[in-house]
Structure formats: C-alpha cells, structure tokens
Amino acid sequence: MNANQFLKALEQLHGWRECAFLLALAERGFPNYALFADALGLKTGAKMRQLLDLGWNLLQETPSESAIPQLLAKLESLSPDVDAYDAYGVYPAFDFCRLLEQALLCRLNPDNHRASEAAQWAMETVLKFIEVSEGDGLDDDELVRLLDQHALMKADKAFQRDLVLAVKRQRVPTVSFIAELRQLAANDGVSNLGISLND
C-alpha cells in the first residue's frame, strides 16, 4: 500500500471502523501518557487507562446520550497542560489525549471525518521525538534522511497501514476482532516512541 492508497483508505473509514482506528492510535500512544504521569508522580495513569478501556467498550454498546460528554469532561480533567511542564514528555502525553478525544468525538458525531488528521498527529508525535532525541546539529537534508530511515518511523507507518487494512476487512466489530485489534495496538506495552511500560 503506497502513501496515496493509504490516504484514500483512511478517507473511506466511517462509523465503528473509524472509531476503532482512532482508539488503536490512542492505545499505541498510551504508554507515553502513563510514563509521563508516573515520572511526575501524578496519580492519573490508572484513571486514564480506565477511560481508554471505556472508549473501547463503546465500539460494542450504544452509550446513553450523556455518557460520551461525561467521558470527554473526564478526559479534559486528566489531560496535561503543555505550558505547565518543562519536561518534553508532556507533548507525547498530550498527543495521546488528543487521539482519545478524537475517538470519543467520533462516537458522538460520526459524520465528521477524523482519521486522516489523527493519523498525521500520531506520526508527528514520532517525528518530533526523533528530532528532539537525535536531530541535534543536523542540517535539513540530514534530518529528512534520519526521519525517512528511522526504525520508529517505519514501525509507525507499518502499524497504521496494518490497522487500516484490518478494520477495512472486518464486517462487524466482534468481541474477538476488537480484542485482536487492542493487542496489536498495545504492542506489548511499547509505545510509538519505542518506550515501554515494563521498563
């Protein structure tokens, strides 16, 4: 699947498929939030895990009218203010929150297409991380080469492609399919930045 085919496939995601795609992107980014919260002694990691789990549950149940706005309000209260912290980790943590917000909004208002922009955000989280951790002192050409060939970028692109193909092929969100998708996205606790909850 080349870049154009990928973008086209993204644009064709609707309903539960788009929501599942967004949740999977959030799931892949969750360790970034959990480790940031942990490093700063914030007690929000477990609450956010619960919120993400509730998001996944929404794929198979019809929520009450007030349920999603309540989840969005809870998410807002758990999201870090990027201006309040010096640590770089606040950015990937906040990026995770944005992805989960898009997944919840997708369930609330499925007519607005969100997958393309969210896929871009997820990739930018990886780009910025590589730039900050390894891009110091490189000129523009060297930086482009670094980003282009970096293992984390290749892994993220492959993950997003696999994700799109998986949800496109699936007719209905069965319990077993959602479990498989969650497992793929969770990546044994390793985030899109290659950092692990188990370290």
In a domain, 74, yes or no: yes
- Whether residue 196 is contained in a domain is answered as no
23 occurs within a structural domain: yes
CB-count burial class (<10 Å; 0-12, 13-18, 19+) for 81: exposed
CATH code, 86: 1.20.1590.10
Phi and psi torsions of 150, nearest 5°: -70, 140
What's the Rg (C-alpha) of the chain?
17
Q: Does residue 58 form part of some domain?
A: yes
Q: pLDDT class for 197, splitting at 50, 70, 90?
A: confident
Average pLDDT over residues 112-128: 96
The total domain count for the chain is 1
CA atoms within 13 A on the CB side of 119: 25
Residue 197: inside a domain: no
Can you give the pLDDT at residue 65? 81
The pairs formed by 34-43 with CB atoms below 8 angstroms and a separation of 24 or more are 34/197, 35/89, 35/191, 35/195, 35/197, 36/80, 36/87, 36/89, 36/90, 36/92, 36/93, 37/93, 39/87, 39/89, 40/85, 40/87, 42/80
- Say how many CA atoms lie within 13 Å of 83 toward its Cβ: 0
What is the spatial distance between Cα 103 and Cα 132, in angstroms, rounded to a whole number? 28
**Digit-coded pLDDT (tens) for 139-155:** 999 999 999 999 999 99
| Residue 89, in any domain of the structure | yes
Residue 199 domain flag: no
Distance (Å, rounded) from C-alpha 20 to C-alpha 27?
10
Segments forming the whole domain that contains residue 17: 3-189
Within a domain: residue 195? no
Q: Region 67-80: what's the mean pLDDT?
A: 96
| pLDDT higher than 80, residue 199 | no
Which residues are paired to 37 by β-bridges?
none
Tens of pLDDT, residue by residue over 14-72, are: 999 999 999 999 999 999 999 999 999 999 999 999 999 999 999 888 878 889 999 99
